[in-house]
Amino acid sequence: MAEEKVDNGDRTMCPIAHSTDVIGDRWSMLIVRELLLGQTRFQDIQAQTGATSQMVAARLKRLVAEGLVTREAYSQRPTRYAYRLTPKGIHLMPVILALRAWGERWCKPEGAQPATRMFHRSCGSELDLEGNCPSCGGLVSWTDMRGQPSDDWASERKRRADTFAEQRRSAPSQTEP
């Protein structure tokens, strides 16, 4: 991850240099997405991101070191950890929401359905991509939103989990680092 590091964020006032020094990497973002969705287990994260176990391990290690993620053993033989976001990690939600809005609007094929529907907790209305509530008439804070994967995305995620489990059964030697 650090192979092209020329000028890290420490010597600048710029908060974007600081934040991208920590999470300016595609796989870290996809891992944060999974943790925000409530995944806690290494293999589930790997299955949904499509990253190799080495890539997931390196990113999780960095996220733990930077205080975005905690890990706690839930099994001893073999040792298995549950990964959870700290408040610092949870506060990446606005970044994820902004990447979501931009990706839905500018990157996906014309007419494609949103992967996730977002709702205003206070009134229950569905929000637009920018986070406006049509009922309350204004932007809604991320802390007052609730997300719900669409049926199609839920199916896609189920397929990924099944395919990953199948691959592990046929190649059981691949172990979690």
Q: Which is nearer to a copy of itself, 78 or 151 (CB)?
A: 151
Q: Give CA–CA dist 116/26, Å, rounded.
A: 19
Output the six-digit token pair for 47: 């299955």
Our measurement of the distance from residue 46's CA atom to the centroid of its chain's CA atoms, rounded to an integer in Å, reads: 11
CB of 174 to a copy of itself, least distance (A): 14
Output the six-digit token pair for 122: 């206070």
Q: Which is nearer to a copy of itself, 83 or 118 (CB)?
A: 118
9 contacts 37 by C-beta, under 8 angstroms: no
Q: Which is nearer to a copy of itself, 75 or 121 (CB)?
A: 121
Q: Which is nearer to a copy of itself, 32 or 83 (CB)?
A: 32
CB of 169 to a copy of itself, least distance (A): 20
Comparing C-alpha atoms, which of 110, 118, 112, 173 is closest to residue 149?
Answer: 118
Q: How far is CA 6 from CA 21, 22, 64, 87, 135, in A?
A: 11, 14, 23, 29, 48
Helix (H, G, I), strand (E, B) or coil at 77: coil
Residues lying near a copy of itself in the complex (CB under 8 A) are found at: 4, 6-7, 9, 12-22, 24-27, 29-30, 33, 49-52, 55, 88, 91-92, 94-108, 112-115, 130-131, 138-141, 150, 152-153, 156
CB of 43 to a copy of itself, least distance (A): 15
CB of 135 to a copy of itself, least distance (A): 15
DSSP character string of 100-168: HHHHHHHTSPTTPPPSEEEEETTT-PBP-TT-EETTTTEE--GGGEEEEE-HHHHHHHHHHHHHHHHHH
Q: Which is nearer to a copy of itself, 48 or 83 (CB)?
A: 48
CB of 76 to a copy of itself, least distance (A): 30
